[in-house]
Amino acid sequence: MTDSPKLLAATIERLTAKGKGILAADESLKTIQKRFTPYSIECTDATRRDYRQMLFTPADLGHYISGVILYEETLFQKSAQGVPLPKLLEQQGIIPGIKVDLGLVDLAGSSDEKATEGLDGLKARLERYKAEGALFAKWRAVFNIANGKPSRAAIQANAHSLARYAAICQSVGIVPIVEPEVLMDGDHDLKTSAYVTEKVLNAVFTQLKMQHVTLEHMILKPSMVIPGSDAKAASISDVAKETLKVLLHTVPAAVPGIFFLSGGQSESVATAHLNEMNKQMPNTPWTLSFSYGRALQHSSLETWAGVAANVPAAQAVLLKRAKLNSKACLGQYNAADEK
């Protein structure tokens, strides 16, 4: 498509707007059922629609959120009033995006490592999603740290898939979000996390260049450099310092935005880490922002609990969380703001 570079550049400019981030609302059916269960919410087409409609319609959400990643079902759903859910986002100046990978499978020939499926037929799916309003996409790969992992085979297989996906996205005018997640599971320390993250990101960018991906027209969605969940916690300052060091070693300045995943962090900790990075290095070559799922949604879901009367309160909670993360993008968040 001859207009692809212009469209990609325009989408990037909107997604990386100062002080804005991305809401990840692309939970699979299995994952959202798991999220609903503690609140005794029945997981049906209607309840998933109602939940996403609640998330997408707070007044002023577009002040803090530039894009929302949708699950395929959500892209084609309509609100209770008959409005397509992507249109609800567009009405707020928010760009609809779409999760396009088809999930994780065991990596053949490895032990306890995963590969991501979804390249077959991807171009045709992207064209269909674009017709429904999606202007960016997301593909997730995961890397496990344990017993010498991730293996070279796992790193190379997943880096290649991420790059092929990104190239296909750009060929149809859709901005790719490249998500290599180094998992928190395990007892590895901060230095080990940094070492593995650097290896993974180096491999990813090598493959992106081999597949002729235009770096100016993509977004990186990495995990922060954090010790394993079974290890001693690191300070907010040390996590920010190590994460920035790895990014400076691996991410070309041509990449316009780095939008972190929260990866199991609590809402306030994820916000504090992002804020500290922007304080320590306010003039990075890339926009440092957020693409959080649970770290934006958790308290809002807890407040909503499937009850229609709770929608205004749940939306207020979501707006507050989005605003705090917006402040973190500017290095202006304070823990006292949580109160």
Q: In this predicted model, what pLDDT tens digit does every residue of 32-65 receive, in sequence order?
A: 999 999 999 999 999 999 999 999 999 999 999 9
Average pLDDT over residues 201-208: 98
Average pLDDT over residues 156-164: 98
Tell me the pairing of strands 21-25 and 287-292.
parallel
**Which of 313, 318, 204, 189 has its CA nearest to residue 255?**
204
Q: In this predicted model, what pLDDT tens digit does every residue of 257-267 receive, in sequence order?
A: 999 999 989 99
- 114, 221, 241, 327: the catalytic one is 221
pLDDT grade, residue 1 (50/70/90)? very low
H or E stretch including 65? strand 65-70
Average pLDDT over residues 1-30: 93
The verdict on whether 18 is a catalytic residue reads no
Put simply, whether the predicted model's pTM sits higher than 0.95 gets the answer yes
Burial of 74 (C-beta count, 10 Å sphere; 0-12/13-18/19+) = buried
CATH superfamily, domain 4-338, is Aldolase class I (3.20.20.70)
Q: Give residue for tokens 């299995």.
A: 30
Q: What is the mean pLDDT of the chain?
A: 96
**What's the rounded Cα separation, in Å, for the pair 72 and 109?**
31
CA dihedral in degrees (84, 85, 87, 88; nearest 10)? 130
The verdict on whether 179 is a catalytic residue reads yes
Average pLDDT over residues 185-190: 93
- 72, 179, 181, 242: the catalytic one is 179
- Give the three-state DSSP class for 53: helix
State residue 218's pLDDT score: 98
What type of residue sits at position 71?
Answer: Y
Q: List the chain domain ranges.
A: 4-338
State residue 270's pLDDT score: 98
Whether 187 shows a pLDDT value over 80: the answer reads yes
Q: Where are the alpha helices (DSSP H) in the chain?
A: 4-15, 29-36, 45-56, 72-75, 85-90, 122-131, 152-171, 190-210, 236-250, 267-280, 294-304, 311-329
148 or 158, which is more confident? 158
